[in-house]
Chains A and B, each alone.
Chain A
Amino acid sequence: MTETEFLETKARWVWEETLRIHRRSAETRVASSLSPIEIFVVLYYGGLLRQDPANPRWEGRDRCIISKGHGSLCMYPILADLGFFPISLLETVCRRGSYLGGIPDPVIPGYETVNGSLGHGAGVGSGIALALKRRGIDRQVYVVVGDGELHEGANWEAFMFAAQHRLDNLTVIVDNNQISMLGRTDDMVSHRDLGRKFEAFGWRAVDVPEGHSVNAISHALRECRACTAGVPHAVIVNTVKGHRVPGLHDTPLSHVTAIKPDLIDQLLNLDK
């Protein structure tokens, strides 16, 4: 199996598992968890993140801040598969006694910070990146944000700060599915030309038009790792909200839409 096939197989499995979790716990937000799957798969399986599942707070880890917390249900199968917690816990999402909630919190092994309240990850991640630099620790900080989340002004305070301090160990990955709760971001407060906005703030920006291509994402992230420009990196991944699920795929107002169990069964069987 090639690296690409390996990552694609993982992405396919994570997509299925995410739907299975949603089938068991319909209250989970599934549409925004289907757009960043390939991003997380590349980070966690593609040799980019140094992590130790047996010791989630290992000092030598690369820090991954999942700022769009409620759109990261797909992280549960990934963390379980890698051994951060037993895979059987995937059966317990949103259940009494489980730590796997509808919006993940750092009681879950593998999660660094409080997420879901939007617009916090970029600032906290910048503080971490600066601390690592000041300590002379050569580790990367990845912050995964949603594009809708970028309406929160605190992000832009952090972006100015990160450029000022030349935090080249910081990469912000935008899950640019272009839809937030009530519709398309372009129709409410547009962030068209997002890459140019980052560049105007002193960042290096890379667009990934094929946002569900593991190769394209991997290539962009490796380019950031190799870059010696001495500035922070923004990788704008053009994804599709509700990816490959009829009724959700690129559909406004799908944010809290639940998928009918029959449809999930059909999707999982048809594609097998």
Chain B
Amino acid sequence: MTAGTIVKPKAMRDALLEALHEAMQTDPEIFFVTADFGSPMLDAIRTDHPDRFLNVGIAEQNLINISAGLALEGFTVFSYAIAPFITMRCFEQIRVNLALLSEVRSINVNLIGVGTGYSYVVSGPTHQCYEDLTVMRGLPNMQILSPSDHIAAAALAARCLARSGPKYLRLDAQILPALYDQSSFALDEGFRVHAKGERVCLVATAYMVHTALKVAKILGAKGISVGVIDLFDITGFDEEKFSTLLGDYAGVVTLEEGFVGRGGLDAMMFDWVARRGLPLRIRNVGVSGGYRFELGTREELHELVGIGIEAVCSAVADFVRSLSPILDNSRSVFLGGDK
């Protein structure tokens, strides 16, 4: 599961910016553009590379357009803002000048959105972000990367430099416990197996990987063994390997810190399972209801919208029971009798 060495947790954005800062020392083609959004590590980039740093102000539409212009002239661009603003305030700029333009012109623009899900805990619905997977999934050519800790976030720097095209990196705003260490994390497959289970596998992304691991532990103590997969490369995971892995299960539960039933990870999984023709039953855990204004800790907010530990434990346990061998037998008897 987690690696042996203890890694001190860090903000995802600081880990990623640190990696970019280091890359900028040797790669003169990296350009960093922010829409007046900071981080301690950003100060280092601004100080050490003022000629390749820009603050466009609170202007996300222009952030995208300026980034596209820089990329057309060959720069590898990292564009940085709060997640709901960098995805939805400027969606048509992203569509036209990144997703569409990249069909014809080679551009490498990497959108870094900070504040997925409820990670801006007390800031309310404007700064929280439950729709980004849905809207960004709708764009052809857009690569979506959704790390669950700062080690994974830092590893994305190399990926962004190595692979051209528009990308969206969705980062948590809070410091989350480390799930990986440098030696144990590899991007290649696009997902990471944390635990193997018997009938059901939890496929989670970003913060919800942490929830999935807790749920698996609680259920494990009750004798229900579920698998846990961290799916961080939403658009580019190794489908063959993923398929083989899920072949060991009867059901999958998707976990996302975004609206359920509105085109996010849940829809992606339904679509993917259908396209592969896999005999898997699927349940989805995600934010239900609509926008909420209640205040509380992130865990309390999660309980309110149906994605808290307790709710997920009970949903997964119910799902496991529904897939139990006894039920399968009775169903096959029933089907047999029907013939």
Binding site for B on A (CB under 8 A): 105-107, 112-114, 117, 120, 122-132, 134-135, 153-154, 157-158, 160-161
Contact = CB atoms under 8 A, between A and B. Distances in A.
B69 A130 contact: yes
Given A123-B62, A157-B59, A157-B62, A128 B101 contact: no
B93 A154 contact: yes
- Most chain A CB neighbours (cut-off 10 Å) among B56, B69, B93: B69
B164 interface: no
B73 to A, nearest CB: 3
A130 B70 contact: yes
Contacts of A158: 62, 65-66
B49 to A, nearest CB: 11
A114 B101 contact: yes
Contacts of A125: 69
B141 to A, nearest CB: 13
A107 B100 CA distance: 11
Contact of B59 (A105, A117, A122, A161): A161
Contacts of B31: 131
A111 to B, nearest CB: 9
Interface string B74-96: 11000000000000000011001
A105 B71 CA distance: 18
Given A131-B75, A135-B73, A157-B56, A120 B97 contact: yes
Chain A contact residues: over half helix, strand or loop, or mixed?
Answer: helix
Contact of B65 (A107, A120, A131, A134): A120
Nearest to B99: A114
B294 interface: no
A128 B64 CA distance: 12
Given A120-B96, A120-B97, A131 B104 contact: no
Contacts of A130: 54, 66, 69-70
Nearest to B98: A114
Contact of A161 (B66, B93, B97, B101): B66
B55 to A, nearest CB: 10
B59 A113 contact: no
Contacts of A124: 65-66, 68-69, 72, 97
Given A120-B65, A124-B68, A130-B70, A113 B75 contact: no
What are the 9 closest A-B residue pairs judged by CB atoms, nearest first? A127-B69, A123-B65, A131-B73, A157-B62, A127-B66, A154-B61, A128-B69, A157-B59, A124-B69
Interface in B35-73: 51-52, 54, 56-57, 59, 61-62, 64-73
Given A117-B92, A124-B72, A126-B66, A153 B101 contact: no
B105 interface: yes
Contacts of B54: 130
Nearest to A165: B54
A123 B72 contact: no
A154 B62 contact: yes
A56 to B, nearest CB: 11
A105 B67 contact: no
Given A124-B97, A130-B70, A160 B65 contact: no
Contacts of B64: 123
B69 A154 contact: no
Contacts of B69: 123-131
Nearest to A154: B61
Given A113-B97, A114-B104, 6 more contacts: A106-B105, A112-B72, A127-B69, A127-B70, A127-B72, A154-B65
A107 B102 CA distance: 11
A126 B51 CA distance: 16
Contacts of B67: 127
A112 B54 CA distance: 23
A261 to B, nearest CB: 34
A127 B68 contact: yes
- Most chain B CB neighbours (cut-off 10 Å) among A113, A122, A124, A157: A124
Contacts of B61: 123, 153-154, 157
Given A127-B72, A128-B73, A157-B59, A114 B65 contact: no
Nearest to A122: B65
A122 B65 CA distance: 8
B66 to A, nearest CB: 4
B65 A127 contact: yes
A135 B74 CA distance: 10
A126 B97 contact: no
